[in-house]
Amino acid sequence: MEIEYDEKGKIFTDVISKEVVLTDIQTLTHHIRGNIHVRKGDRLSDEINHPTQFLPVTSVIVYSPGGEILHQCDFLAVNREHIVWLMPVAEHHDNGDSQDSYNG
């Protein structure tokens, strides 16, 4: 890793700092709960609108339309064209639901 400094002492590195946002994603056929990693200073919408075809999601749980757990994995690449809606869990779960529970 290379570290550079400017004349004011600001540090520049190859490492990109990101914040983890626990998110619910609805695709055409499944509900997905997992973490999206957003660059510090950016919004979730900035990450969603990134020009790449797939959205990387970590610590993933995939649910059936009925709320049954179908798959769990550490990483899933979701095709952005299949996303119907997406929102941070913190904005719609006021009752303290964890990543392990989904109520449809």
Q: What's the predicted TM-score (pTM) here?
A: 0.73
User: How do the residues of the chain divide into helix, strand and coil, expressed in percent and rounded to 5?
Assistant: 10, 50, 40
**Structural domains in the chain?**
16-91 (2.30.30.100)
pLDDT for 14 equals 66
- Which tens digit of pLDDT belongs to each residue from 59-93? 999 999 999 999 999 999 999 999 999 999 987 65
Nearest to 85 by CA among 28, 16, 8: 28
Instruction: Give the pLDDT confidence score for residue 45 in this predicted structure.
Output: 87
Which pLDDT does position 13 carry in this prediction?
67
| pLDDT tens-digit readout, 3-48 | 676 777 776 666 677 889 999 999 999 999 999 999 888 888 888 8
β-bridge pairing 69-79 and 54-63: antiparallel
